[in-house]
Each structure stands twice: as C-alpha cells, then as structure tokens.
Amino acid sequence: MPSTRRAYIVPLPGQRTLPLGERCLVMGILNITPDSFAERFPKTDPDVAIDAALRMQDEGADLIDIGGESTRPGAEPVSADEERRRVLPVIERLAPQLRIPISVDTYKSEVARDAVAAGASIINDVRGLRTDPRVATVAAETGAALIVMHSRGVSKTMYAEAVYEDVIVDATRELGESLVTAAARGVPRERTIVDPGIGFAKRVAHSYGVLARLPELAAALDRPLLVGPSRKSFMRDAIGDVRPAERDWGTAAAIAAAVLAGVHIVRVHNVAAMRQVVRVAEEVLNHG
C-alpha cells in the first residue's frame, strides 16, 4: 500500500535550504576511489570525476555525494590525508559549477571540515558518528546538514555484527542514539537526515526487511529518510550472481519500493535510469 511522505525543510550553509517531501530526490554517487565495488572504471582522475558529476546533474540528479574511501565489506581504510587528496580538488572545482548541493561521504571530522570549506554543504557519515563524533561538531560549527547512517563495526567486521532481535526496532534505536549524539554536539534536529544503511551490517533478510518496513522507521524517528540500495549484494539471492554494474534492474525494483514507502532521497549510481524509476513510482504514490 503506498505511503505518504512527510515534508521537511533542511537548512544548509549560506542561508540555503533543502526542501524534502514534495518529491523523492535523486542523489548521484561519485566515488573517487580505485576500489569502488559498483563501477567498472574508477573515477580517480579529477577531470573524469568532475565530468561525471556534471553529467549526473544534467541527467537530473538533485544532489551529488562525493566519497574518497570505499565502504564496501572488507575494504581497507585510508588515511584522512589520502581521503582529502582525493576529494578536495574535485569539490573545490565542482562547487562553483554545480547548481545542486554537494554531500561529502566521510566519517572523519578533519575530512568533513575541509570538504565543507571547499564547498560541500552536507556531511554523510556512514558510521553514524560512532567512529568520530566530532563530525557532528563540524556540522554544528559550519551549518552543514548531517546524514547519519545505521551501521555496526567497520568494513571488515560489519557482517559479524549483523545480529538483531528485530532489525527495524534495533536500527531505529541505534539511529536515535546517533541523533542524540548529534544534538549533544550542537546540531539542530532539523538539519539531520537518517539512512537505515541497507547492506551495512545486515544480512540479506535484514536488508529486505528494512525496505519492507521503511514507514515504521520514518514514523518512529520523524526525520527525512535517505535509502541507498544501489547495486548492492543483497540482491544476488533474487537476481543471481551478476556483477554490481549489471544490477541496475534489481536496483530499480528496490528504488521503486523505497519511493512507494515514502523516502525522501535515493542514492544511486545510474542517475538517468533511476530518475525514470523514481518519477514513475512517484506517479503511483501520488495516485494512491
């Protein structure tokens, strides 16, 4: 049964705002890493990355999420200096060219601070402030919006910690703890967005369970929802062991389900195709 979507206005730096709720927004993923799980051709060259971001904007992206460290299961961490070396030149050059907000995908406060100074207006912490709560301090001091994602452990250990009494109840409680941490560091609740972390410290059944019960999470937390199922491995039981770059049909189904559940933002690799999915699912939602 289609869900309704609550409306929010998320403040951004520079007296800008991000209106959420009238329609589902599309966030394009820009991985500036040599080991991205989902792409055949790494975008480590700044010129290639910038061209990709501009192309995503032309294809209809509403936001661009830029990351310099792979968060796939088993990925090796990189230093803050290396992460900055990868993302800062791209953000600095993109900020004057893009009409849409830039999000930086990092769990390191020093990277977050420099990225916002370079032009990012949203910080996307995939560890939900568990690793470095000072990320919230950066958001509070700079006025950046803050996305907190549900996860457990680190890339190499997350699946060992995928044990839940009830995945939605547990994820809701732990995301609530992240919001409490953010508030304690001075981030107004109105500047927060939550992500249930599909595929992060979650077995296949957990990821499908989250997708099936998104309205419960939204009602419990009363914050905008971001969902990122794009090309993730939980789909393999349903579609077979195909390469990540060939999982766009499976991604489309997950994105449609998320839109019908009332999410505010979907995070995707293939902007052009998934924008079509979002728009058609929106029409179903609007006529429900």
Residues identified as active-site: 232, 267
Round to whole Å and give the CA distance between 195 and 19: 17
**Helix/strand/coil (H/E/C) assignment for every residue in the chain:** CCCCCCCEEEEEHHHEEEEECCCCEEEEEEECCCCCCCCCCCCCCHHHHHHHHHHHHHCCCCEEEEECCCCCCCCCCCCHHHHHHHHHHHHHHHCCCCCCCEEEECCCHHHHHHHHHHCCCEEEECCCCCCCCHHHHHHHHHCCEEEEECCCCCCCCHHHHCCCCCHHHHHHHHHHHHHHHHHHCCCCHHHEEEECCCCCCCCHHHHHHHHHCHHHHHHHHCCCEEECCCCCHHHHHHHCCCCHHHCHHHHHHHHHHHHHCCCCEEEECCHHHHHHHHHHHHHHHHCC
Question: Which of these, 285, 255, 286, lies nearest to 26 by C-alpha position?
Answer: 255
Q: Counting every residue, how long is the chain?
A: 288
Round to whole Å and give the CA distance between 196 and 228: 9
Round to whole Å and give the CA distance between 118 and 157: 32
Spacing of C-alpha 63 from chain mean position: 10
